[in-house]
Amino acid sequence: MKKHIGFVMLLIALLIPVYAQAATPRRPKVLPYINFSGTTATCSVSVTGDSTKDTISLTAKLYDGSTCIATWTDSGTCNLNFSKTKTVQSGKTYKLTADVTINGTALGTTSATGTCP
């Protein structure tokens, strides 16, 4: 009997983390965007969650080639509409990356690239 109880307890202990992991992921929509006005780059990221209780964290970075020239962070609930500006150089290509975390789960890097006219 004791063996059975021990086995059931072990099974429950193994299932708890699996259940918690399965309940966490969400399916956000992420729209990174980079716009230029003269030598000012406007870096925007729009993130939309699936629940009004989703907590969203964003780390946005602006790259000139392989050099990161700006890093920003922001957070919100359900949705996030981030926008910041940075002075850049004409003729150069810049990459905006957005790392999004939903409910504590990192979902990978998204990006958009643009050339300053």
Footprint of another protein (CB under 8 A): 22, 25-35, 44, 46, 48-54, 78-79, 81, 107-108, 110-114
Q: Least distance to another protein from the beta carbon of 67, Å? A: 19
Question: Per the structure block, which two tokens stand in for 76?
Answer: 């919100």
Rg (CA), the chain: 21
Q: Least distance to another protein from the beta carbon of 64, Å? A: 15
Closer residue to another protein in complex, CB, 35/57: 35
For residues 68 and 29, the answer to whether their CB atoms sit within 8 Å is: no
The burial of 6, by beta-carbon neighbours within 10 Å (0-12 exposed, 13-18 middle, 19 or more buried), is given as: exposed
Q: Least distance to another protein from the beta carbon of 112, Å? A: 5
